[in-house]
Chains A and B, each alone.
Chain A
Amino acid sequence: MKDQVIIRTRGLTKHYVLGAETVRAVRGVDLVIERGEFVAIMGPSGSGKSTFMNMIGCLDTPTEGDYWLNGQLVSDLSDDQLARVRNREIGFVFQTFNLLPRATALHNVELPLIYAGVGSKERQRRAREKLELVGLGDRMGHKPPEMSGGQRQRVAVARALVNEPALLLADEPTGNLDSVTSQDIMAQLEQLNESGQTILLVTHERDIAQHARRQVHLKDGMIEQDFLNEHVETRA
């Protein structure tokens, strides 16, 4: 049987040096996340949530500490291997969507597949499938500026899912959305998790975090609390 642990960090630390001052954004985080989990990272602004997520997403490198993804020590990976991990293992949803504004929804979702070397036909098929999954089957030819915030974020979710990543990371995916749209996106994530997708979600809203099964609270770059949501028992 495959190892159930997907993320393991040990003393994960990130310092930013700004002139004479050193900002300790993340200060020694030890965390283990297993496959199939739905974890919400919470904490006040500036507590290091985004910094932590970026390291987990292999976008940023820790100053100190170790991080194993799927049992592989990430600091051992070459640039090209990191690109491959970002492409195949991780789907990232950003607070600010980060879509290519001049490309259609379909092309945006196709992007990871392009870098994975998937042929044009197969690429379109898979991109369409994911767009339909997030309920945008009728908006494929639209460009981001022609879409609402909620639609854009759903395009971003489709894009994050298109390569069937082992890990879905979302940094305040609802941060720029109204509450109704937020509930929509969260319902979608919940559904994904129910079908087995591992999700790591950053938020500072309690009701958003309620959708997850586990909450990890950060404060000043350190874990303050780590607990399961109450409803988990009742649901399980």
Chain B
Amino acid sequence: MLLFEIIMVAMGAVRANVLRSALTTLGIVIGIAAVITMVALGEGAQQRVQEEINRMGTSILTIRPGQQMWGGVSRGDAQLSIDDAIALRAESNGLLRVSPEQQSRMQVTYGRWNSNTQIMGVWPEYFEMYGHELQSGRWFDQGEVQGRRRLAVLGANLPETLGDTPPELLVGANIQIRGIIFEVIGILEEKGDAAWVRPDDQIFIPQSTAQYRVMGGRDRLNSIYAATETPDELDVGFAEIDRIMRREHRIKVGEDADFNVRNSADLLETRNEANRTFALLLAGIAAISLLVGGIGIMNIMLVSVTERTREIGIRKALGATKRAIMTQFLVEALFLCTLGGLLGVAAGYAASEAVTRLAEWDTSVAPEAVITAIVFSAAVGLFFGLWPARRAAILDPIDALRYE
């Protein structure tokens, strides 16, 4: 029997029962739609993380204060001091670019505008490490850091925050941070959010100025950033930091350090891991719904075989082989499932779009996911159609003809 005829017969059977066929495929549609949506969400999150990594720079190591231990007992939080940063820069033989970060939220005023803004005391290297660009003005330099100058570089959103002032007007103007007058020397290009960092809303001033003029002489850094030239040198950089910091803090080898060093990529990776777990969970749900959908298909195919027993008998009496009957019902199941798969892909695509619009969550429907979904639904059709098709194929012609 020609395959084309078999397909026509199978499609005719589906068409003869449109409503039932539609309801039957619903399980598959939902399953596939779930898979597509979840893959699109996962893919979107993945892309976002990748973008963040790129934006943050992959070769930055973050040193944070840890627990100070004494004889195995915690004596509270350890501290990072400016001497640590100086030592790291001086003793790593140029391997590391270093910047301390001393930050605090403070009241900022410009004319009659004021805002509560995060003030970041940093070194010039900080801008380099994070790949910041200026949209106008200039950076401060190391000499100005030494001189504890009251200079400020503003994040890209600040002109808007400070009364929608044009950036050109703001450069050279004076602002007050906690009542202290600063000269605005530069405005940064927009950077977007990178994980937990929101540079567009921050104001950058020399660290020494922050320490002595704004934050009351407190020698306590929030973190120290150190960057290597390339990501390949991170391991060496890590070892150097560990060596220098241990010496500075007088911690013997083998003792617990009172500081943590983290790779920015690691931090994102952790989040990525969480995303993957979530995706796996959804995949599980999708698998179950596909299983249920498949059983639904099997059920309706069994009903169909029973209903059409007489038809099968007629076909057999006219010379249909087992194989021809089997193919007919398999193609029918396959057709139902693949149709369900296609509808599911469409529904999943629509759902991803909706999520992107409503939740502003990046999604991306990968072509591989679409192909996999369709192939998978066809496989479900084959698997769950096999048994009903076999039942139809092995019917005895005379019994089938006698069936009422």
Contact = CB atoms under 8 A, between A and B. Distances in A.
Given A54-B398, A60-B398, A79-B322, A114 B316 contact: no
A116 interface: yes
A115 B317 contact: no
Given A114-B2, A114-B5, A86 B311 contact: no
Interface residues of A, number: 26
A111 B398 contact: no
B12 A86 contact: no
Nearest to A54: B398
B401 A98 contact: yes
Given A54-B398, A102-B16, A111 B322 contact: no
**Interface-central residue, A80, A111, A116, by most chain B CB under 10 Å:** A111
B400 to A, nearest CB: 9
Contacts of A115: 1, 315, 318-321, 324
Contacts of B323: 80
A20 to B, nearest CB: 21
Contacts of B5: 114
A83 B316 contact: yes
B369 interface: no
A187 interface: no
Interface residues of B, number: 22
B314 interface: yes
Given A114-B2, A117-B1, A86 B398 contact: no
B155 interface: no
Contacts of B310: 98
A87 B398 contact: no
Contacts of A94: 401
B319 A100 contact: no
Contacts of A88: 319
Contacts of B311: 100
A94 B400 CA distance: 14
B322 A80 contact: yes
B397 interface: yes
B378 to A, nearest CB: 25
A98 B320 CA distance: 15
Given A54-B398, A114-B1, A117-B1, A84 B319 contact: yes
Report, nearest first, the 5 A-B pairs whose CB atoms are least far apart: A87-B319, A115-B319, A83-B321, A60-B398, A59-B398
25 contacts: A57-B317, A59-B397, A79-B322, A83-B316, A83-B319, A83-B320, A86-B317, A86-B318, A87-B319, A92-B317, A98-B313, A98-B317, A100-B314, A102-B16, A111-B314, A112-B318, A112-B319, A114-B1, A114-B2, A114-B5, A115-B1, A115-B315, A115-B318, A117-B1, A117-B2
